[in-house]
Amino acid sequence: MDPAAHIVRDLQRPAAYPFPVERVGLRQTHVSWLFFAGDHVYKVKKPVDLGFLDFTDLAQRRHFCEEEVRLNRRLAPHVYLGLVPITRSPTGRLRFGSVGETVDWAVEMVRLPERRMLSNLLDRGEIDNTEMNEAVALLARFHAESATGPGVDEYGSPEAIAANVEQNFEQLRPFVATGKTGAAGLSVLSPRQHAFLCARARGFLDDRRELLERRVREHRIREGHGDLHAENLCFTDAGLVAYDCLEFSRALRCGDVASDLAFLAMDLDFRGYPGFSGYLAKRYAKVTGDAELPALLPFYKGYRAVVRGKVAALTAVDPEVDWARREELRCRAMRYLQLAAAYELPPSMILMCGLPGCGKSWLAKRLAGALRAAVLHSDVRRKLLAGVAPTTRVHEGYETGLYAPEVKERTYRSLLRGALDNLRAGHSVIVDATFSRKHYRSAFVDAAARLELPYYVLHVTADDAVIRERLARRRNETREVSDADLDVYLRERIAFEPPEEVPHRHLVASVSGAGIPEAQSSIVIDRMIELREGR
């Protein structure tokens, strides 16, 4: 039997544990197996060589298990219990911590309450700035006490940062889409996105060299956590703990405190909480007196997004990963890399233009995540202006009630005010409306031009049969906010004035309302990069 399969099979047996266990759960990352047994978790390192880490040697796996315990006890002292041998019994079965031949090593941990993970609290909406303040207090104290000086400072030099950046882009190269697709048939970013991200990162390092060198002199380089995201933070009864720090590379663990903070800020952006991300950064800067943090965060957030995208792509091509999980990881990698690109793009206004049922709202929601953009929905705004709850179904004639011409005009004026408020605050905004007439679009385009900000008109299309099927299905969806039915669609189709190509710095893109949203977003971001570079 393959050694990896042997480990996975044997260590899922309750008899492999030194205490009574009813059931053993298994999770895996690209570098580890995690076995969940009662109140304990055992982490076993996979014998893999990924270039940036090498766990193929048993002695190395033991060493890094020891390092994992030592380093994680800084932020989670009561969670990491120690090192445990994996032994082989006379019958050939593997087990933890018993007598016999030691064949591998594991880290033993206390199992943390999953419901109290920051990621799950965010999903359930059970969090506010109180938790962000607690996170800032923990990180500020940790960074102040972490090692700095010789042996650490060199990892904050422009050359060391550049080495990490270049390694990331080199390891992503096999996943760049080409005519033959990427690694093992898997691509996660376009050639334009790869080149754009490379150029922007290199440009920052060249332009801000003096700032980076000053950060070293000011002792802002610390031996940090290195993998600080919402799934690695847990609010326990004893307080907040951060666990699973990056143990296998000091070069990747040590760096500017801005880089450590940026990982969590980026993860909050990725999960759709840019408000918490912004508050976290401002609070940390105030508590630590780090006035230069805003100049560094966009670069480091982009760097961290690239790292997460790379890790997702590498995990996706693991032979142990099934097809469904592989596609999930591929889409995840694409979203991270699109977020990295968005950090380098200016605030923009995006008009989602298309007939009812074409997929505008579907694409707007996905694109908003990549761009950290607010979404203004005409269907929601129309009902709120009329004092109607968004999910209340309103069945009226096309030329009366909520679809009357004067109501349309009022709705578009309100959407424009909301869009301008977001743009002036420095946020991208997506306006999700039919924009069936040119004069509706012109008001938004003229306003963006006056602010000298880029705008995009995304003409979303779908086959007539697909639209009809979607509209029929909507009738039974209780949370659907759009009241557009077949009659509205047919009338809008007659009146629809397709957007024309806009010259110079602005674009019109036709995007099909089908396929995976990440692929559709990639098309849009490619066009935005093309515009940003003046091509």
- Does the pLDDT of residue 504 top 50, yes or no? no
Report pLDDT for 528: 86
Query: Which residue matches tokens 């060391």?
Result: 160
Do residues 85 and 61 lie in contact, with contact meaning Cβ atoms separated by under 8 Å?
A: no
- Does the pLDDT of residue 45 top 90, yes or no? yes
- Between CA 51 and CA 101 the distance in angstroms is 30
Q: Given pLDDT bands bounded at 50, 70 and 90, which one contains residue 5?
A: confident
Q: What is the mean pLDDT of residues 184-208?
A: 93
Write out pLDDT tens, residues 202-250: 999 999 999 999 999 999 999 999 999 999 999 999 899 999 999 998 9
Report pLDDT for 247: 94
- Between CA 428 and CA 251 the distance in angstroms is 35
- In terms of C-beta density within 10 A (0-12 exposed, 13-18 middle, 19 or more buried), how is residue 511 classed? buried
Q: What is the mean pLDDT of residues 278-293?
A: 96
Q: What is the mean pLDDT of residues 187-209?
A: 96
- Between CA 76 and CA 243 the distance in angstroms is 6
CB atoms within 10 A of CB 29: 13
Report pLDDT for 209: 97
Report pLDDT for 530: 85
- Does the pLDDT of residue 397 top 60, yes or no? no
Q: Which amino acid is at 259?
A: S
Of 351, 528, 365, residue with least CA distance to 438: 351
The tokens describing 422, both together, are: 């977001």
Report pLDDT for 328: 93
Report pLDDT for 514: 64
- Between CA 468 and CA 24 the distance in angstroms is 48
Write out pLDDT tens, residues 436-446: 888 899 999 99
Q: Given pLDDT bands bounded at 50, 70 and 90, which one contains residue 502?
A: low
Do residues 376 and 419 lie in contact, with contact meaning Cβ atoms separated by under 8 Å?
A: yes
CATH number of 349-532: 3.40.50.300
Report pLDDT for 29: 85
Residue 476 phi/psi, 5-degree rounding, is -105, 5
Q: List helix spans (H) across 350-404.
A: 360-371, 378-385
Q: What is the mean pLDDT of residues 179-191?
A: 72
Write out pLDDT tens, residues 448-468: 888 888 888 888 888 888 888
How high does pLDDT run on average in the chain? 89
* 6: Cβ contacts below 8 Å, ≥ 6 apart: 94
Identify the CATH homologous superfamily for domain 116-342: Aminoglycoside phosphotransferase (APH), C-terminal lobe (3.90.1200.10)
Please report which helix (H) or strand (E) contains residue 229, including its range: none
Query: Which residue matches tokens 């700095």?
Result: 148
Q: Given pLDDT bands bounded at 50, 70 and 90, which one contains residue 478?
A: low
Do residues 135 and 240 lie in contact, with contact meaning Cβ atoms separated by under 8 Å?
A: yes
Query: Which residue matches tokens 């269907």?
Result: 379
Do residues 309 and 172 lie in contact, with contact meaning Cβ atoms separated by under 8 Å?
A: yes
Distances (CA, A) of 48 to 4, 315, 466: 10, 12, 46
Report pLDDT for 233: 97
More confidently predicted of 3 and 61: 61
Least confident of 78-87, 295-304, 391-400: 391-400
Report the percent of the chain where pLDDT is more than 90. Answer: 62
- Between CA 314 and CA 176 the distance in angstroms is 13
What are the residues facing 186 on neighbouring strands? 183
Report pLDDT for 387: 84
Report pLDDT for 72: 97
Domain extents in the chain: 3-111, 116-342, 349-532
* 494: Cβ contacts below 8 Å, ≥ 6 apart: none
